[in-house]
Amino acid sequence: MRFATWNVNSLRARRDLVALWLNEHQPDVLCLQETKVKDADFPEELFEENGYHVAHWGVSSWNGVAIAARQPLDNLILGVVDDSEEARCIAADIDGIRVFSVYVPNGRALGDPHYSYKLEWLEALRARLSDEIQRRPLLVAGDFNIAPTDDDVYDRAALEGATHVSEPERLALQRLLDLGLVDCGASAEDTDSNFTWWDYRQGAFRRGMGMRIDLVLASRSLSGEMCSFQVDRLTRAAPKPSDHAPVIVEF
DNA sequence: ATGCCTGTACATTACAGA
């Protein structure tokens, strides 16, 4: 199975690139984040014309998550807290696997209310996953907005006091892994090659100033069947790119 | 210290993103 996740930073702005990418890479499952469309405006035909089932959750022009898959999506869940939350999580059963597409809150700054919200959201996700993982194999993929270790950022010193690298965020991620999930991108020999996000500014991509924040977490049984892991940096180098690269994992 | 760039809507400026 070819599994992928991609924060597209607006599906409306990225529509043509997503269509090209689907045809070139032919994933069996694709998790999307930051679609930035309401459900009523979601371009289902973009996926259906290319042979995919698709489920989306978007309540405004911000956030928004989706899962597209060759096989049907069953037992959909929207969100991890309650109906009033932002559209940051969608889950579905696909061919016997429970798939989560997640867009973890950014946090903005240490001490910002949004930072507390990020930690609370991660704890709510953990509570949900602790229940789910006992039932079936899990794949939890998306933009976690956390760099798991100092090796996952271009310059740790430059990020002192910033979000994405703080201990509380990393502990919240570790609590997810402690449920029995494996970070599929953690074991690369050249960690720079696993960066998944580069700022649009300052030529950050060209200069290698990135972070690994888009993750694929797999149940142990599934992680043992992983046969390849790849960050598609070519797509970050395309014209009009998202600031995130797709991540592709084969099982 | 700030903006750099990109996309969004209460749009020609402010904001969020990471």
pLDDT tens for each residue of A201-221: 999 999 999 999 999 999 999
In this structure, the strands spanning A74-78 and A89-94 are: antiparallel
User: Is the predicted pLDDT of residue A83 greater than 60, yes or no?
Assistant: no
Give the list of residues 6+ apart from residue A203 with CB closer than 8 angstroms, or none: none
pLDDT at residue A80 in the model: 81
User: Is the predicted pLDDT of residue A35 greater than 90, yes or no?
Assistant: yes
Domain that holds residue A149: 2-250
Q: Return the amino acid letter for A59.
A: V
Q: For A8-19, how does the pLDDT look when each residue is reduced to its tens digit (9 = 90+)?
A: 999 999 999 999
CB neighbour class for A228 (10 Å; exposed up to 12, middle 13-18, buried from 19) = exposed
SS3 assignment, position A217: strand
Domain count, chain A: 1
SS3 assignment, position A177: helix
Whether the CB of A213 is less than 7 Å away from nucleic strand B comes out as yes
Q: For A44-68, how does the pLDDT look when each residue is reduced to its tens digit (9 = 90+)?
A: 999 999 999 999 999 999 999 999 9
User: Is the predicted pLDDT of residue A78 greater than 80, yes or no?
Assistant: yes
Using a 7 Å cut-off to protein CB atoms, list the covered nucleotides of chain B: 3-9, 16-18
Helix or strand holding residue A82 (H, E): none
Catalytic annotation present for A103: yes
Closest nucleotide C1' to the C-alpha of A11: B7
Least confidently predicted of A78-82, A124-128, A181-185, A219-223: A78-82
CATH no. for residue A60? 3.60.10.10
Task: Tell me the pLDDT band of A85, cut-offs 50, 70 and 90.
Answer: confident
Q: Which of residues 162-201 of A touch strand B (CB under 7 A)?
A: 163-164, 197, 199-201
User: Is the predicted pLDDT of residue A42 greater than 70, yes or no?
Assistant: yes
Strands lying side by side in the sheet with A138-143 = A74-78, A89-94, A97-103, A138-143, A214-219, A181-183
Nearest to A36 by CA among A117, A169, A143: A143
Task: Tell me the pLDDT band of A193, cut-offs 50, 70 and 90.
Answer: confident
pLDDT at residue A225 in the model: 97
